[in-house]
Amino acid sequence: MNRMELMDDPLVEEEAKPGPKYVVTGLRLFQSKRVYIMYCATVGIASIAMILAITAVIRLSSEKGNVNDIQLELEKVKQELGYVKLQNFELNANLSTLTVEYLVNMQKNHLRDELTALVTTLNFGWFAPFNGYKYQKTTAKANWNASRAECQVKGADLAYVGVKNYDTRVAIMSALSLNEAWIGLHDIPAEGNWIWVDGTNATKEDALWEDGEPNSWKGRDEDCAVIGRKSEKFKTKDAKCTTMSIGLCEKKIE
């Protein structure tokens, strides 16, 4: 190799140049630092990537846990929804039953009213509730004795049989559109000894007294019985026999 060729070689040129020999060593050292820096950067990036990956795994695990919780809550909601649907079905079934019962009762009441009107017509104005007796109200308000006398003219007497049963009493009063009426009960012969017009003694059960009755209110001489006068629905009260009221006549069906 001639001198010109040697001069073109960088290493030779460095060696040929005067000055310290550490130039080549410094270059190599510089190159080593670059490698080191690149290595550190690579390690750093790898570490960051690893940290990010670990964070992602932790977050994914957390989200997975949340998903499991959400699924459990969803199952609970589904169960509650099923329970609500079951309750709704039961309510609808009960409503349907009540509706049917209501319609049946309306039909029964309608048929009863028609039957009552028919029976009353066939009995020439007398109402017969199928207890062996028929009933009619007097033509006008009068005192107890006068009302009884009108009933007796019709071959009847003031009611004393059917009025012992509360349901029958209500049916009679309703059928005849009565709010109050004299009945065949009094204590005229002996104060406090209440008897029916057939002579039998009345009891608390068959007289169907309103609470607190009989009471001879304010010391009045109340010896005759009336039902429905400012009392509980068709319960019995004592009243002055001279009071004016409609009489309820009762006659045995022959």
Q: 63-94 pLDDT, tens per residue? A: 555 667 666 766 776 676 676 666 766 776 77
- Residue 32 domain flag: no
Q: What is the CATH number of the domain that holds 209?
A: 3.10.100.10
Q: List, for residues 116-147, the tens digit of each pLDDT value.
A: 555 554 556 788 887 899 999 999 999 999 99
Please count the structural domains in the chain. Answer: 1
- Residue 13 domain flag: no
- Residue 177 domain flag: yes
Q: What range defines the domain where residue 144 resides?
A: 126-252
**∠ CA(181), CA(182), CA(183), 5° rounding?**
115
Contacts of 181 (CB under 8 A, 6+ apart): 137, 159, 173, 226, 227, 228, 245, 246, 247, 248
Mapped onto helix, strand or coil, the DSSP state of residue 124 is coil
Q: List, for residues 147-160, the tens digit of each pLDDT value.
A: 999 999 999 999 99
Q: Please say whether the dihedral angle defined by the alpha carbons of residues 136, 138, 140 and 144, taken in this order, is positive or negative.
A: negative
- Residue 23 domain flag: no
Burial of 201 (0-12, 13-18, 19+ CB in 10 A): exposed
- Residue 220 domain flag: yes
14 CB neighbour count, 10 Å cutoff: 13
Q: Are 129 and 175 in contact (CB under 8 A)?
A: yes
- Residue 35 domain flag: no
Name which of 54, 251, 183, 88 is nearest 46 in CA terms: 54
- Residue 198 domain flag: yes
- Residue 79 domain flag: no
Q: What is the pTM of this model?
A: 0.54
Burial of 245 (0-12, 13-18, 19+ CB in 10 A): buried
